[in-house]
Chain A
């Protein structure tokens, strides 16, 4: 098992984990209707305040917004942890689906090196004088979970002593037009698991979690297990049987009673097909009665960052013994009823599960455990 050392979230709702967590607890959403980016239609999205990003980053004109957000997030996650990020036993794991893809919008003749995903990843780790090549994961919308799974394995294998997992995604004309072409976006604030849900909202975020190998009797939050499984069904459509998601849940929860799970933080994008697929997978896995929530109505779908953002916020909730409400949800879908959390509630249970699914039929389930009374901070 591996233990939580530090974390940060930078999003439309704030620039520290605490600011984000309090905004979620208060039911706030970063989603706004935006015009711009050269798109023909307005779009609902949760964007990071660029002015504030520049102010808080301070200088750094040579960095793109994605790189600034990632560097700032790692800086804040590491602050006060005592982890020396320049150490050779520290390994960076960078997750993003599209990195600096906005650069393709410029002159096609001059291809900037920074559209390659490894480039912003290397700029981030080298900013901290880390001597190792970062591990770069681009596994669609489960990237942030795959990165944590990879970090856990590297720590277990002794390949490093600390793992810095950073997920970052910034929106661009490229990403938004693509989701528009798939008719996946809702023009209204999204409503995960609601019977009348009509699509997703996109969001921007950079988030970090730093892990170490868990010692004997380690207190705090542990990443107990993580599994990734494929639907083997369709390159973009969710499985009608929830096969990959079900298999991932089964692997992550092997031997754990559903009664011990405080809550499930689902992917919950609020597209009709995704949420139904997850409801089927949860039902098949015997987890339909466990409280379930989605954070997408607060942050939007932050793509390659989602797995990290939502794990950090959910881990904070577990630490505080709290089940967060699933914003945007009003009415149960009759076919596969779930126990969707409609209000903030206390819990004394020790586990939570993070679910993610993505294009390419990939699905992830991560099992986190709270041990002792330590806060880990």
Chain B
């Protein structure tokens, strides 16, 4: 029994795709992520409260689960594992700006709650009612071997039958998410969850 990629999505500042198919997003005044949210008719006002890291993860999971009839049924067999390089540094800096020395000191509770990287896993779990494992790992650099390792090991949990895994980064000029729904399967027609697949699909996503 091997692990296969059931579905995958990619989003950055300019492009979005699901299973390799580009998502049309009308150009306009709004930021790309907001335009994508509207293009998919998501209707989830919490979206606007999220930091960019959570918006990326949330939208990538929308692309994977939209149209899935069972998506809002509470279930604990889907784990969510996210990885990145910069943790929540973007929100850390935004919160830090509310407590600068010598300036007005008004620490913002709504910014502070996003100074934990795993909040993105919570936003996805809440939206899709996923009660399975959630975890956030920080890597010095993107490393598909780490994704393959941690995801493979996550299936040791007897309840876990699928893992939603993402590389989700939002800091400075680096903003992207690559998400995969990984399941156990044994058919040779499926896309294997491997270092080679991850590298190939990520590059395809980046190239729009």
Contacts and interface: CB of A to CB of B under 8 A. Distances in A.
A173 B154 CA distance: 35
Interface in A228-268: 228-236, 243-244, 247, 251
Contact of A159 (B95, B119, B121, B149): B149
Given A97-B116, A150-B150, A159-B149, A116 B86 contact: yes
Contacts of B115: 98, 101, 174, 178
A13 interface: no
B113 A146 contact: no
Nearest to A134: B140
B156 A156 contact: yes
Given A108-B93, A181-B108, A138 B131 contact: no
Interface size bracket, B side: 35 or more
Contacts of B6: none
Contact of A230 (B96, B112, B130): B130
A362 B122 contact: yes
Interface in B105-144: 105, 107-109, 112-113, 115-119, 121-123, 125-126, 128-140, 143
Contacts of A157: 149, 152-153, 156
Contact of B125 (A180, A230, A358): A230
Given A153-B153, A232-B125, A360-B119, A251 B99 contact: no
A146 to B, nearest CB: 5
B93 A236 contact: no
A230 B133 contact: yes
A63 interface: no
Nearest to A121: B138
B2 interface: no
Contacts of B149: 154, 157, 159
Nearest to B75: A232
Nearest to B158: A251
Contact of A104 (B93, B118, B121): B93
A98, A173, A182, A235 pick with most chain B CB within 10 angstroms: A235
A40 interface: yes
A360 B118 contact: yes
B122 A136 contact: no
B89 interface: yes
B19 interface: no
Given A116-B86, A159-B149, A234-B126, A40 B105 contact: yes
B83 to A, nearest CB: 10
B157 interface: yes
Interface residues of A, number: 56
Contacts of B134: 139, 228, 230, 360-362
A154 to B, nearest CB: 6
A105 B139 CA distance: 23
A116 B105 contact: no
B105 A230 contact: no
Contacts of A153: 153-154, 156
Contacts of A342: none
B113 A236 contact: yes
Given A122-B140, A133-B140, A136-B138, A229 B116 contact: no
A217 interface: no
Contacts of B157: 227, 251
A160 B180 CA distance: 26
Nearest to A40: B105
Contacts of B140: 116, 118-119, 122, 133
A38 interface: yes
B137 A232 contact: no
A286 B86 CA distance: 41
A40 B107 CA distance: 11
Contacts of A177: 99, 105, 107
A139 B133 CA distance: 11
Contact of B112 (A122, A181, A361, A362): A181
Given A117-B87, A150-B150, A235 B126 contact: yes
A41 to B, nearest CB: 11
User: Which of A99, A146, A154, A361 has its CB near the most chain B CB atoms (within 10 A)?
Assistant: A361
A25 interface: no
B50 to A, nearest CB: 9
Contacts of A356: none
B166 to A, nearest CB: 15
Contact of B87 (A116, A146, A235): A116
A157 B87 CA distance: 26
Interface string A145-175: 0100010011011010000000000000110
A115 interface: yes
B7 interface: no
Contacts of B153: 150, 153-154, 156-157, 159
Contacts of A174: 92, 95-96, 99, 115
Max count, chain B CB within 10 A of own CB: residue among A38, A153, A173:
A153
B116 A230 contact: no
Given A40-B105, A105-B101, A361-B122, 4 more contacts: A159-B153, A229-B76, A235-B126, A359-B122
Which 4 A-B residue pairs are closest in the complex by CB-CB distance? A153-B153, A178-B112, A360-B122, A181-B107
Interface of B: 74, 76, 80, 85-87, 89, 92-93, 95-96, 99, 101, 105, 107-109, 112-113, 115-119, 121-123, 125-126, 128-140, 143, 146, 149-150, 152-154, 156-159
